[in-house]
Structure formats: structure tokens, C-alpha cells
Amino acid sequence: MENRDMKKHLTTVGATFFLWGLITAFNSTLILFFYHYFQLSWPQAMLVNVLFYIAPFLTCLPCSKLIALFGYRTLLRSALLLTMSGCGLLSLALGYYSIIGALFAVFVIATGVAAMQVVANPYLTLLSQEHKRVGNLTLASAVNSLGTTLAPLLIALALRASPIDYVNHNEPIKWIWLVLALFSAGLFTITILIKLPDIAQNTKTAKYPSSLWCNRKFIYSVAAIFIYVGVEVSLGTNTINYLSTIGKWNTETAISLISLYWGGALIGRFIFGVFAHRISLKFAFLTVTLISALLIVLSILLNNAIGGYLLLLIGFANSIMYPIIFSQSMATVPHSANFAAGVLIMAGIGGAIIPYIQALMIDILTLRFSFLLPLALYILLACWGVKHLKSASSPISVLE
């Protein structure tokens, strides 16, 4: 009975990974939708992405303190309510053709998703048995990737079933956000019905530990998260542009093809979740970062539809980077887990900065050569792996 209850708890927390995966990928594909629907420039449309990643930067540390004061369960429920409100607001804003309202709603959604991430990563870890922590976090990341894989397909299907009417400002995307609001409300209700347990907090963790910034390994890991999230999101958004501009696919097809990028991450994380404790994390990390760099070089040289397909393959290579970096980061500061998680999610602001820099590079260097930026970043990630990962494979103990 105890094991059955634990599975329910892990499944419920894992479902939040699926929810924010859906939302994150919807947001990435919204950039192209906003670009056409509101008739914006590409850097202006990229502001949707900037807002989505600025919100975590502003809210993660306050969320970490709230965890210390009120516990994981309370903040998880609050995050779900905030996400539900933001999705409902975005549905209304799109219905009324309000770009300002839509951008505000994106910020509200991003705040809820940020709080969810700060809670869910350490919460899932704490609910797991110690020897299953890395594997469970990787499998939860795979569930997150399932959401990111399905999102572009759902948008493409919605656009095919009900094409956008640019004259009358009629589109089907608002209904997707309404469904997401209902899904968030459903998860909130489940956390109450199954009596989701809370985790006792050490009162000492209510104060922000300044020692975090004295830990060199942790600082480098924060930088690695910044780079990884930035390059993953930048490829997820600009590959759509590559497919439609260079690959000559129409908008709906380009959006649906990006599901292959997120689908690669889904497959890779499921496989890695099973074998994580048996392989060298250092070897695996270096392999995927260098392969990613090679695929980008080939896409720049080819500059055609085949190059676009090669960029999509990078999703598979990306699959194991986040759980390795995050787990390694948490292992360096096990007694400040709630604040460490907040800082690491804050580092996700790379998902706003790096794609925006690439968007500016598109105007300066052309779309093709803007991919020199993610190329350089994957090389930097490989350098982090050489410096901070051990050659031996072993489960990483995240929390005591």
C-alpha cells in the first residue's frame, strides 16, 4: 500500500513536468504564430520568449524562500493555480486580439511554470529512494520531453483544422490555452485528493545561504545550465525559421517538424533514465555535446533542407544534458537544495538571452551563420564536462 501511494505521489509530481513541457514548447512555437498573427518583426516576436525566461529569473529565489517557509506541497499547488490563471488570461487575450494582454499572460504563465520547476525538481528527488534519484529525475525529464514533443503537433493540427483568419483575427490557439488552464486545475485537484505528502524543512534553510556563491563547482554548473537552456531553446525556435526559410516548408509543416527535435529528447531521456547508473556520465556528456557541435557545422555548410533535418537530430543529443548538469549541481550543495534549485532555474534566463542574441545575429550575419552561436556554446558545454564530471559512473546523491 505504501509503495502504491508513493507511485501516485511520484506520478502526480511527474505530471507537472509534462505540463510545463507542453507550455514551454507551446511558447516556443508561439513566436512564429505571433510573428504572423500580430504582424511583428522577428526580434519583436522573440519578446514572447524573453518574457517567458525573464519571469523565472525574477521569481525563483522568492519561490525558494517560500518553499522553506511553507513547504513543497503548498508552493506546488500555488504554482498550478498561477499557471491556470495565466493560461486562461492568454486565451482571452488572443480572443480579443490584444498583444499587450497576451504578453502579460505569458509573463503570468512563466511565473507559474518557474515556481513549478523550482518545486518539482527537488520535490521529486526527495520523494524518490536515494539509488533511484538520478533515474527518476531523468524519467521525469523524459515526461517533460513528451510534452514538448506533443505541443508542436497539437498546434500544427489545430492550424490545419482551423486556419488563422488574419482579417477577422480568428484562430484556434486560444482553445489550446483554455485546455491547458483546465489541465492545471485538474492537477491541483489531484494533489488534494491523493493527499500529496509534504517534506519537512530544516528551519536553517529559510535563510539564503551565501555559501552557494563561494562554491566554485556550483557557480560553473549554474553557467552550464544557462548555456544549455539557452542553446536548447534557441535551436528549438530558430530551427523552425531554418525549416521555413531555408528548407522552404510552410509554417504548419515547419512547426510540426520541430516535434522531431523535442521527440529526440523524449527518446534519449527514456533510454538514459534506464541506463544512467551503468554508464560514464562524463563520456556520455562529451559525446552528445561534440556530436551536437558537428551537426551544426554540417547544417551551416549544407544550408538546405538536409541541414534542417540535422538540426532536428540535436534534440536527441540534448536529451541527457539537463539531468546530468542539474544532478551534478545539486550534489555540490546538498544542504541548500531549495535555494540551489531556485538559482539553477533562474539560470534558465539563458533561454531568453541566447535566442534573442541569435535573432539579432540573423539580421546581421543571415540565418545560416547565426548558428555559429550555438556551435560555440556546445563547445563550451563540452569544456564544462571535461572539467567537472567524473569518468566513473555512479548515482549522484542529491539530498540527504
What's residue 71's pLDDT?
83
Cβ atoms of 76 and 361 within 8 Å: the answer is no
> pLDDT tens, 13-63?
888 999 988 898 888 777 878 888 888 887 788 888 888 888 878 887 788
For residues 122 and 5, the answer to whether their CB atoms sit within 8 Å is no
Which residue do the cell numbers 536515494 mark? 130
Model pLDDT for residues 69-87, shown as the tens digit of each residue? 888 888 899 999 999 999 9
Give the model's pLDDT for residue 354: 93
Of 173 and 339, more confident: 173
CB 370 within 8 Å of CB 361: yes
Confidence of residue 399 (pLDDT cuts 50, 70, 90): very low
CA–CA separation, 145 and 315 (whole Å): 10
Is the model's pLDDT at 329 over the cut of 90? no
pLDDT value of residue 64: 76
Q: Which helix (H) or strand (E) holds 248?
A: none
Determine the Cα–Cα distance for residues 279 and 309; give it in Å rounded to an integer.
28
Residue 91 has pLDDT above 90, yes or no: yes
Q: Is the pLDDT of residue 400 over 50?
A: no
In the three-class reduction of DSSP (H, G, I as helix; E, B as strand; rest coil), residue 170 is classed as: strand
Sign of CA dihedral 361, 43, 352, 15: negative
265 close to 319: Cβ distance less than 8 angstroms: yes
Give the per-residue pLDDT at 5: 63
Of residues 178 and 251, more confidence is placed in 178
Decide if pLDDT at 327 tops 60.
yes
What number of residues does the chain have? 400
Q: Each residue of 208-243: pLDDT tens digit?
A: 566 677 778 888 989 999 999 999 989 988 998 899
Question: Using 50, 70 and 90 to split pLDDT, how confident is the model at 396?
Answer: very low
Digit-coded pLDDT (tens) for 275-319: 766 778 888 899 999 999 999 999 999 999 999 999 999 998 888
pLDDT in tens, 189-200: 998 888 787 765
Indicate the average pLDDT of the chain: 82
Angle among Cα 68, 187, 57 to the nearest 5 degrees reads 45
> Which has the closest alpha carbon to 335: 127, 126, 194?
126
Task: Please determine, for residue 395, whether its predicted confidence score (pLDDT) is greater than 50.
Answer: no
Query: If we measure between CA atoms, which residue out of 161, 197, 389 comes closest to residue 286?
Result: 389
Q: Cell numbers of 25, please?
A: 514548447
Question: What Cα–Cα distance (Å) separates residue 185 from each residue in 87, 178, 190?
Answer: 11, 11, 9
Nearest to 13, CA basis, from 145, 116, 84? 116
Q: Count other C-beta atoms under 10 Å from residue 65's C-beta.
A: 17
Name the nearest CA neighbour of 2 among 89, 116, 129, 101: 129
The residue that leads in pLDDT, 331 or 267, is 267
Tens digits of residue pLDDT in 114-165: 888 888 877 777 776 665 666 677 677 778 878 878 888 888 888 888 887 7
